[in-house]
């Protein structure tokens, strides 16, 4: 008998509407996600775009500056360059220039292997991938039109180059991870020479201090999390033909996100404990490529609309977070809002921090701990529900969109207060 989670959690505590910070909203804000397109999967760019819309709703004059690309692997110019309006917000797209320069692969390999290329090589590495000269020159020409220009994430060429075009107006949604790139000297100007850095968590803040000195003005503001109004776990099972207990993963299925590791660990856990009742349901993008022994346990539901993703969260026994380079992990918040516990890679400093602070997640440091986490879920579903219980309050207390936007507004106002002559027309 499956210990299914029946009805979606009827939140005992309703989401709070934050008291909106009364801040000076004069001047135009530019948000510069490297990609901005319908159907984009996860990531910092999505959060930045959501933040743009959130601040536009609060009365800010907001514009989105982005590329014509939607695929962060190919960077092909799939969308037309020029102006458009998306959900009421003006969007300007600029074409990507991308050349296949073989040296990039060599240097990338060296960096990821822990090597430290010379600063000249680091610069060549940065400039040998995608570039957007037209966006850079837009900011050269029109930088004075903006009060603040918000970028993310730190290692992208767009952030690296364009933030330096308008350094005292540049605010970074840093998305700093403890990864080899972060330690490249190349990025020191990004951390030390901009108007401000927005961090999402304490570990990210601490990491920034370990990496750069002196840090630009900075603040931990969290990350905005939308609170669903309702959940329909049974409907999800029905619509996607899922029977039985499952753990869930959604997002980009790629090495950097820990997807192959998750599959390997699951395969080994199942090999040792074939009685484990779980399938692995996955939504998002990327190749599945599951090992043969667990191929039939892995169910791809493809790209899920937000509501279905939330329903899947509510239906799952646990949400799996195998990534070690998460700067925030929106998905674990969505899991906790849905009343579902999180099982996470202990090497992910930020996620481990959230798990510890919320008390609503377990972490594993090897395949045996991973297996024991699954055994716990299988054998003690009531205790697992207890484990998950504080997660929702943790999210509501810290990361409701309105609260985070309050903090972001406050910091933008602090770091980019209107200065005489600094913003055209203001």
Partner 1 sequence: MDRDSEGLGSRLVKILMVTPYPPMRDGIATYAAQAVRQLRAEGHDVEVLSPGPSAAHYHLDLVGPRGALALGKRVPRYDKVIVQFHPDFFYPLPSSVRDRIEVSLALAASFRLAREVEVVVHEIDYRHGRLRSPDGYAARALWHSVDRILVHTEGERRDFITAFGVSSTRVLLATHGARFSRNTHHDHETARASLGVPADALMFLTIGFIQESKGFDRAILAFAGLGARGARLDVVGRSRLAEDGSGYENHVDVLAAATDGVHRHKGFVSDELFDRWIVASDVVVLPYRNVWSSGVLERASLYDKEVIATRIGGLAEQAADRPGMTFVRDDAGLRRAMWERVMGARKGLTLEPWPAEGDRLRADLQRQIRRRAAAARGSRAASAAPVGAAPDVAAARERAALVAGAVSAPVRRVGELALPPTASQRSGGALVKRVVRRLTAWELGPIVGEVNALRAATIESLESAGAQVGVAAATADDAERAVRSRGQRSAGRAAGKRGSGGPAVRTERADALDDGIACPPPRRG
Q: How far is the CB of 168 from partner 1 (least distance, A)?
A: 5
User: In whole angstroms, what is the distance from residue 315 CA to residue 309 CA?
Assistant: 10
Measured N-to-C along each axis, helices 330-337 and 306-315 cross at an angle, to the nearest 10 degrees, of 60
User: In whole angstroms, what is the distance from residue 289 CA to residue 282 CA?
Assistant: 12
User: Per CB under 8 A, which region of 148-156, 191-199, 274-282, 375-383 contacts partner 1?
Assistant: 191-199
The answer to whether the CB of 245 falls within 8 A of the CB of 317 is yes
Q: Which long-range contacts (CB under 8 A, 24 or more apart) does 198-202 make?
A: 198/171, 198/172, 198/173, 198/174, 198/408, 198/411, 199/174, 200/175, 200/327, 200/328, 200/350, 201/327, 201/328, 201/350, 201/353, 201/354, 202/353
78 makes contact with partner 1 (CB under 8 A)? no
For partner 1, which residue of 82, 123, 288, 305 counts as binding (CB under 8 A)? 123
Pairing assessment for the beta strands 89-94 and 82-86 based on DSSP bridges = antiparallel
DSSP category for residue 225: B
Q: How far is the CB of 169 from partner 1 (least distance, A)?
A: 9
Q: How far is the CB of 416 from partner 1 (least distance, A)?
A: 9
User: Per CB under 8 A, which region of 32-40, 187-195, 313-321, 358-366 contacts partner 1?
Assistant: 187-195
For partner 1, which residue of 119, 380, 383, 424 counts as binding (CB under 8 A)? 119
For partner 1, which residue of 77, 188, 206, 372 counts as binding (CB under 8 A)? 188
Q: Which two tokens stand for residue 396?
A: 């509501």
Tokens 């570990």, located at residue: 203
Q: How far is the CB of 209 from partner 1 (least distance, A)?
A: 12
414 makes contact with partner 1 (CB under 8 A)? no
Q: How far is the CB of 152 from partner 1 (least distance, A)?
A: 17
Q: How far is the CB of 255 from partner 1 (least distance, A)?
A: 26
Comparing C-alpha atoms, which of 51, 414, 403 is closest to residue 218? 414
Q: How far is the CB of 163 from partner 1 (least distance, A)?
A: 9
- Site string (81-110) toward partner 1, x via CB under 8 A: ------------------x-x---------
Q: How far is the CB of 63 from partner 1 (least distance, A)?
A: 19
Number of residues lying near partner 1 (CB under 8 A): 38
For partner 1, which residue of 30, 171, 172, 190 counts as binding (CB under 8 A)? 190
User: Per CB under 8 A, which region of 45-53, 61-69, 85-93, 163-171 contacts partner 1?
Assistant: 163-171
For partner 1, which residue of 42, 90, 155, 193 counts as binding (CB under 8 A)? 193
Q: Which is nearer to partner 1, 195 or 281 (CB)?
A: 195
Q: How far is the CB of 98 from partner 1 (least distance, A)?
A: 10
User: In whole angstroms, what is the distance from residue 372 CA to residue 378 CA?
Assistant: 10
Q: Which is nearer to partner 1, 100 or 296 (CB)?
A: 100
SS3 196: strand
127 makes contact with partner 1 (CB under 8 A)? yes
Backbone angles phi, psi at 366, to 5 degrees: -160, 180
User: In whole angstroms, what is the distance from residue 240 CA to residue 237 CA?
Assistant: 5
Q: Which is nearer to partner 1, 6 or 113 (CB)?
A: 113
CB atoms within 10 A of CB 410: 15
How many residues can be counted in the chain? Answer: 426
Q: Which two tokens stand for residue 41?
A: 């999967």
- Site string (130-159) toward partner 1, x via CB under 8 A: -x-x--xx--xx---------------x--
SS3 106: helix
User: Per CB under 8 A, which region of 56-64, 161-169, 273-281, 308-316 contacts partner 1?
Assistant: 161-169
For partner 1, which residue of 85, 118, 241, 366 counts as binding (CB under 8 A)? 118
24 makes contact with partner 1 (CB under 8 A)? no
Q: Which is nearer to partner 1, 131 or 403 (CB)?
A: 131
DSSP characters for 131-186?
E-HHHHHHHHHHGGGEEEEEEE-TTSHIIIIITTTSGGGEEEE----SSGGGG-GG
Contacting residues toward partner 1, per CB under 8 A? 99, 101, 118-120, 123-124, 126-128, 131, 133, 136-137, 140-141, 157, 160-162, 164-165, 167-168, 185-186, 188-190, 192-195, 214, 216-217, 419, 422
């Amino acid at each position: 008998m499956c210990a299914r989670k029946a009805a979606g959690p009827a939140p005992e505590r309703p989401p709070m509407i934050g008291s909106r910070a009364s801040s000076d909203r004069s001047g135009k804000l530019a948000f510069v996600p490297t990609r901005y397109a319908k159907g984009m999967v996860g990531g910092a760019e999505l959060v930045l775009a959501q933040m743009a819309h959130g601040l536009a709703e609060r009365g800010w004059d907001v514009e989105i500056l982005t590329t014509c690309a939607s695929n962060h692997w190919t960077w092909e110019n799939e969308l037309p360059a020029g102006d458009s309006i998306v959900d009421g917000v003006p969007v300007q797209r600029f074409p990507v220039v991308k050349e296949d320069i073989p040296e990039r692969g060599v240097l990338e390999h060296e960096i990821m292997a822990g090597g430290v290329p010379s600063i000249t090589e680091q610069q060549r590495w940065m400039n040998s991938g995608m570039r957007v000269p037209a966006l850079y020159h837009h900011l050269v020409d029109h930088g004075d039109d903006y009060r603040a220009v918000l970028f993310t994430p730190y290692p992208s060429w767009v952030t690296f180059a364009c933030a330096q075009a308008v350094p005292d107006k540049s605010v970074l949604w840093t998305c700093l991870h403890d990864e080899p790139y972060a330690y490249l000297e190349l990025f020191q100007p990004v951390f030390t020479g901009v108007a401000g850095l927005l961090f999402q968590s304490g570990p990210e803040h601490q990491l920034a201090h370990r990496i750069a000195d002196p840090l630009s003005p900075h603040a931990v503001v969290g990350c905005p999390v939308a609170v669903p109004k309702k959940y329909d776990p049974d409907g999800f099972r029905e619509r996607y033909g899922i029977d039985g207990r499952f753990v869930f993963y959604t997002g980009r299925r790629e090495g950097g996100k820990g997807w192959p590791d998750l599959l390997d660990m699951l395969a080994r856990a199942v090999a040792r404990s074939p009685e484990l009742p779980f399938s692995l349901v996955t939504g998002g993008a990327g190749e599945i490529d599951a090992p043969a022994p667990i191929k039939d346990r892995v169910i791809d539901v493809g790209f899920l609309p937000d509501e279905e993703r939330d329903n899947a969260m509510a239906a799952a026994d646990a949400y799996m977070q195998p990534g070690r380079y998460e700067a925030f992990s929106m998905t674990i918040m969505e899991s906790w809002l849905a009343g579902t516990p999180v099982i996470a890679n202990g090497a992910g400093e930020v996620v481990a921090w959230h798990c510890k602070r919320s008390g609503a997640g377990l972490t594993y440091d090897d395949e045996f701990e991973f297996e024991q986490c699954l055994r716990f879920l299988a054998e003690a579903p009531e205790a697992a529900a207890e484990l998950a219980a504080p997660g929702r309050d943790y999210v509501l207390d810290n990361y409701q969109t309105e609260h985070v936007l309050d903090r972001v507004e406050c910091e933008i106002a602090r770091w980019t207060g209107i200065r005489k002559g600094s913003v055209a027309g203001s």
